[in-house]
Amino acid sequence: MRWEDHITADPKILVGKPIVRGTRLAVEFILDLLAGGWSVDDVLEEYPPLKLEDIHACLAYAGELVKSERLIMTPEQ
């Protein structure tokens, strides 16, 4: 599964935030639901246009971003 097949961005939709293709649901929104304790089944039930593959794509997209992230620790002041 390629996340690129499920995630897109268009400057005319949600000011260009990454969304699940064919919806107006932002990747960050889906991730926030999951982080907030929603189960995958809860998300799919509440947002019928979503498919399980879309949720997996959101997670894969987030994982791809984190791979390139670098955290620079500074001493506490």
Domains and CATH numbers, the chain: 3-66 (1.10.10.10)
**This prediction's pTM:** 0.86
pLDDT at residue number 23: 95
pLDDT at residue number 77: 60
- Comparing CA positions, the residue from 14, 55, 68 lying closest to residue 46 is 55
List Cβ<8 Å contacts ≥24 apart for 6-10: 6/53, 6/54, 6/57, 6/58, 7/57, 7/58, 7/61
Token pair for 68? 């390139």
Angstrom distance (rounded) from CA 72 to CA 68: 13
Token pair for 32? 């926030």
Q: Mean pLDDT over residues 52-71, rounded?
A: 92
Q: Mean pLDDT over residues 16-28, rounded?
A: 96
Q: How confident is the model at residue 1 (pLDDT cuts 50, 70, 90)?
A: confident
pLDDT at residue number 56: 97
